[in-house]
Amino acid sequence: MSRVKGGASSHARHRKVITKAKGYYGRRKNCFRTAVQAVEKAGQYAYRDRRNKKRNFRALWIQRINAAVRMNGMNYSKFMNGLTLAGLDLDRKVLADIAVHDEAGFKTICEQAQKALDKKAA
């Protein structure tokens, strides 16, 4: 039986890592040992930041809603409370999109929230 050397599989394994390290600076792009470390760390950052991206978008939506609501004479927390009282079940992504692209529509939503707050106060 002939002896099997691991050349082909090793080369494939190395090529897989080196391909992922394409564009990195210095030895990290072509030296297997450092490329393995760099690719592994990049994977950790990517995993972490896929979750952080969701937080960042939520914060952006809240800022956009707050800015639009303040132009209509309310603040964010009272607006969201008014939406709950009015029974309007819109998520922040949709509200932010309406605030940016349809000012008149957002103004009517603000008015409904304000009416619900006034009704509760009375």
Q: Which two tokens stand for residue 5?
A: 């050397």
Burial 1-18 (b: 16+ CB within 10 A, else e): eeeeeeeeeeeeeeeebb
The structure's pTM equals 0.77
Q: What is the pLDDT of residue 5?
A: 87
CATH number of 7-121: 1.10.1900.20
Q: Single out the residue of 52, 50, 26 nearest to residue 38, CA to CA.
A: 26
pLDDT tens for 30-50 read: 999 999 999 999 999 999 999
pLDDT tens for 53-93 read: 999 999 999 999 999 999 999 999 999 999 999 999 999 99
pLDDT tens for 6-29 read: 899 999 999 999 999 999 999 999
**Predicted confidence (pLDDT) at residue 122 exceeds the cutoff of 80:** no
Q: What is the pLDDT of residue 2?
A: 84
Q: Where are the domains of the chain?
A: 7-121
